[in-house]
């Protein structure tokens, strides 16, 4: 009797078996967890600081609004302090990268000063409109919209991960909308103007400096996370004890529990790859130019 020919994984030749037939050699190409990334606990704790820093910034913005709404903080004091810190951060930004980003964008300090003056003038001119913008809207509705927008800002913020959900433009737009909502609930034009400027400094300029600090001065991340977290906790504690405790719980959960959870879940990953996967054409390196 003639030996039975060995089955081959082809469809262009009749081998005397159905098209969906496979033999035992079909699973020889099975591979597991080829591209699984292995995480370590301490690096994850370090990287979680990017999230907690932004959460602390959002809490600081809310606390500042409450302080101004309760007349514990004057708009003039906030404007002077925030502007001074922004100027210091602006100079620090140039020192960190040695002016590299400035040379790439071909912008001078005069150009940046003109942009800042234009933004402040435009915001101050619209402040009288902002004060009376939502007179017909209830305060509960304003606070609900602000909460949703701030959550959207946190959700879509760029934390350095290449994910489809990341959208810096959407995150900044949500924060701007939230600041406009809160500014419309303050008493004077100056308060509304200061709120808009402070929101822009906190949600547009401050994240840029944080990313540069993380890239060029990685040792600053832990102190910065602790300072922002402690500052937000103390300020929240002066307003609401429950809110401060909830913030601390979230801070600990994100910093320590989530990394531990992620490292343990990696043990249960079971991605399989084999001949059933979609074919990928790999170019021949010898033919590339």
Q: What is the DSSP letter of 5?
A: P
Residue 278, pLDDT score: 66
Residue ranges covered by each domain of the chain: 44-267
State how far the Cα of 247 lies from the Cα of 253, in Å rounded to an integer: 10
179 close to 121: Cβ distance less than 8 angstroms: no
State how far the Cα of 245 lies from the Cα of 96, in Å rounded to an integer: 35
Tens-place pLDDT, residues 17-43 = 887 777 777 777 777 777 777 888 999
Tens-place pLDDT, residues 73-116 = 999 999 999 999 999 998 888 888 776 777 777 778 888 889 99
Task: Judge if pTM exceeds 0.85.
Answer: no
Residue 236, pLDDT score: 94
State how far the Cα of 133 lies from the Cα of 128, in Å rounded to an integer: 9
What are the two backbone dihedrals, phi and then psi, of residue 119, each rounded to the nearest 5 degrees?
-65, -45
Counting as low any pLDDT under 50, the low residues of the chain are: none
What are the two backbone dihedrals, phi and then psi, of residue 239, each rounded to the nearest 5 degrees?
-105, -50
């Amino acid at each position: 009797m003639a030996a039975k020919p060995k089955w081959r994984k082809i469809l262009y030749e009749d081998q005397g078996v159905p098209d969906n037939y496979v033999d035992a050699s079909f699973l020889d190409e099975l591979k597991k967890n080829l591209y699984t990334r292995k995480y370590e606990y301490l690096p994850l704790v370090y990287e979680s600081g990017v999230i907690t820093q932004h959460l602390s910034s959002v809490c600081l913005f809310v606390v500042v609004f409450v302080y101004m709404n309760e007349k514990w903080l004057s708009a003039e004091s906030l404007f002077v302090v925030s502007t001074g810190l922004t100027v210091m951060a602006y100079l620090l930004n140039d020192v960190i990268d040695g002016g590299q980003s400035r040379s790439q964008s071909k912008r001078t300090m005069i150009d940046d000063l003109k942009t800042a003056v234009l933004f402040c003038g435009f915001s101050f001119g619209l402040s009288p409109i902002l004060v009376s913008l939502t007179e017909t809207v209830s305060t509960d509705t304003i606070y609900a919209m602000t909460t949703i927008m701030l959550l959207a800002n946190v959700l879509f913020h760029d934390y350095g991960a290449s994910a489809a959900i990341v959208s810096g433009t959407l995150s900044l737009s949500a924060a701007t909308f939230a600041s406009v909502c809160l500014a419309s609930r303050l008493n004077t034009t100056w308060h509304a103007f200061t709120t808009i400027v402070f929101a822009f400094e906190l949600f547009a300029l401050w994240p840029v400096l944080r990313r540069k600090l993380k890239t060029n001065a990685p040792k600053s991340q832990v102190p910065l996370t602790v300072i922002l977290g402690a500052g937000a906790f103390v300020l929240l504690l002066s307003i609401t004890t429950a809110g401060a405790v909830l913030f601390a719980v979230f801070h600990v959960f994100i910093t320590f529990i989530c990394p531990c959870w992620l490292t343990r879940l990696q043990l249960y990953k079971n991605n399989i790859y084999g001949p059933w996967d979609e074919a990928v054409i790999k170019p021949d390196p010898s033919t590339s130019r």
